[in-house]
Amino acid sequence: MIIILRPDTDKTEAAYAKLMKYLQDLPNIAIRLHDEKGDEQTLTEIYLVGNTMPLASDEIEAYEVVDRVVRVSREYRILGRHKDDDRDTHFEYNGVRFGQDNLQIFAGLCAVDNLAHVEMMMKALQESGLQCTRMGAYKPRTSPYSFQGHGQECLPYVFELAGKYCIKVVSMEITHDAHIEEIHKALESAGNPTGVMLQIGTRNTQNFELLKSVGRQNQFPVLLKRGFGITLEESLNAAEYLASEGNRNVIFCLRGMKTNYGDPHRNLVDFSHVPAVKTMTRMPVCIDPSHSVGSRNMSPDNIMDIFHSTAQGVIAGANMILVDFHPRPEKALVDGPQALKMDELAWFLDDIQIAREAYLKRCELQKQLAKVS
């Protein structure tokens, strides 16, 4: 059960103490407090953990400081969507809005290789009016002999260039909790010219200690990739780990499932789960067509499979796109075969626009039909 207090409730006032006294006297119920600090107000939520079935919502709602009570099902207590649950389905970070109702595009390098390529990418993004990117510094690789990413060495120029080209959020995978501090320090040394979204890769979806560390910090939002060989429920529980430690600014990313049934794609594209995740949780949903499809294959209509899959996710309501580009894919140190080229960026964006407009039209049609019936 979640008790949502009136905005800006003062924890020193008697009415608050009265509620807390009532809650603390409840047998076998643990209490957890969470403050959600927004620009305009602070919302306090009180989580009651234990057998809350015998508790009457209206009795609790009668307390002066209580705004409303939400009964949660056992699944995904914090990030889930529950009955009569009108909590937010969006958050803002560094001036960029992430929500179940909008769409952000993160085009960029799978792995940072050199300064020149980072600059070419950032410049192209700015020219296209984009404000987010992906830049891999820490790369988890199947072979220990493959390029592992430049790590913290490349952070100063990545952040500085992001600032120079007005990029507000850089999505970057981390594979160890020490990377959080490295990123924090590099941002600070550069004068915080940009923001970072911490990416948890598919190989780490169930690295619970990493999830806990990332969940304990609130400086950076998190992009959690779906585990490629586990159930959707298990991956959603991984997201809930982040929230249960305190960080609710989580985006869930579909990136395909590892199975030969997806051939000839690198992974079985799972973007039909976009609406399913939006139904089960309040998280914005990201799609990663590059790692799902894994190649620049083109179908007979002269449209690349990556474009087709992106459109399929967007027309189903996806809220974020993570996509690999590279100025010279043949020279890329990681995932070159799936990278789009710089002169394909405008085409890609136009194609997304068509799919997004179609999605919005579909929502509008549904609204009209609901009015009539």
Q: Rounded distance, CA 283 to CA 236, Å?
A: 10
- Give, in degrees to the nearest 5, the angle at Cα 349 between 345 and 353: 170
Residues 278-337 that bind Mn ion (CB under 5 A): 335
Q: Rounded distance, CA 52 to CA 330, Å?
A: 58
Residues 259-298 that bind ligand PEP (CB under 6 A): 288, 291
- Of 45, 113, 173, 240, the one binding ligand PEP (CB under 6 A) is 173
Between 65 and 277, whose beta carbon lies closer to ligand PEP?
A: 277
Q: How near is the Cβ of 82 to ligand PEP at its closest, in Å?
A: 29
Residues 89-128 that bind Mn ion (CB under 5 A): 110
Count of residues that bind Mn ion according to CB under 5 A: 2
For residue 133, the partner it binds in Mn ion, ligand PEP, none, with Cβ less than 5 to 8 A by kind, is: none
| 247 touches ligand PEP by CB under 6 A | no
Between 110 and 287, whose beta carbon lies closer to ligand PEP?
A: 110
Between 24 and 142, whose beta carbon lies closer to ligand PEP?
A: 142
Token representation of residue 347 = 């085409």
Between 85 and 177, whose beta carbon lies closer to ligand PEP?
A: 177
Residues 217-246 that bind ligand PEP (CB under 6 A): 225
Own/partner pairs, 118-125, CB within 8 angstroms, 24+ separation: 118/154, 118/157, 118/158, 118/161, 119/161, 120/327, 120/342, 121/325, 121/326, 121/327, 121/342, 122/161, 122/162, 122/164, 122/165, 122/167, 123/165, 124/325, 124/342, 124/345, 125/165, 125/167, 125/345
Count of residues that bind ligand PEP according to CB under 6 A: 10
Q: How near is the Cβ of 362 to Mn ion at its closest, in Å?
A: 31
Of 248, 240, 193, 251, nearest to 38 by C-alpha is 248
Q: How near is the Cβ of 360 to ligand PEP at its closest, in Å?
A: 27
Residues 115-144 that bind ligand PEP (CB under 6 A): 136
- Of 149, 201, 221, 317, the one binding ligand PEP (CB under 6 A) is 201
- Of 133, 202, 213, 237, the one binding ligand PEP (CB under 6 A) is 202
- Give, in degrees to the nearest 5, the angle at Cα 60 between 56 and 61: 110
CA atoms within 13 A on the CB side of 286: 27
- Give, in degrees to the nearest 5, the angle at Cα 86 between 83 and 90: 125
Give contact residues for Mn ion (rule: CB under 5 A). 110, 335
Give contact residues for ligand PEP (rule: CB under 6 A). 110, 136, 173, 201-203, 225, 255, 288, 291
